Amino acid sequence: MRLETAGEWFPGPDRLFAALEATAPENTRVVILGQDPYPTPGHANGLAFSVNPDIALPRSLKNIFTELHDDLGGTPATGDLTHWAKQGVLLLNTSLSVLPGAAGAHAKWGWDELARQAVTEAQKHGPLAFLLWGAHAQKAMAGLPRPTDLTIATAHPSPLSARRGFFGSRPFSRINDWLTENHRAPINWTA
């Protein structure tokens, strides 16, 4: 099946590669891996966990912001995470497209291999911090992090699992500490 003839799907052709366009391999410092775009109309914007500024925060993103506030004392004004991407945070889903209301519908289309290739390309430019939320992300990136990389693997921020190790993990300050130790600028997570 070709995307052009598959009917409605998200995030749509103009945002399909938004994560890779927003964060070039040579600028990538952090990898946050999602599973697939939000399957709710109007939510997916091509960046993992991100939504457009006028969209209410999905539950996983609310939990991410709760942890961010507990960790660093603030949160962005909206759920649009483009400012993270511009600072070198690759917000990549292992599936770049999804059918409305059908999470995982395009999971077997080979997008996961593209995600691995994108991360491998970014690794050519220096050590990376991997933020792997949930078993899916951890399995998808298995074998890629190197000893020079930072890997933070916790439960997914979903309401179903956030209390099993996501909350209290303080990933944002840990990444910034690691970046600073490696003589790299920290991420402004709360801007």
DSSP state of 135: H
* Among 37, 23, 30, 31, CA closest to 141: 31
Q: How many CA atoms lie within 13 A of 170 on its CB side?
A: 9
Q: Is 36 a catalytic residue?
A: yes
Residue 21 and residue 3: Cα distance in Å, rounded? 19
Residue 164, number of CB atoms within 10 A of its CB: 11
Residue 38 and residue 105: Cα distance in Å, rounded? 12
DSSP helix, strand, coil percent of the chain (3-state; round to 5): 35, 15, 55
Is residue 134 within 8 Å of 34, Cβ to Cβ? no
Is residue 44 within 8 Å of 105, Cβ to Cβ? no
Catalytic residue (choose from 14, 36, 70, 71): 36
Known catalytic residues are: 36
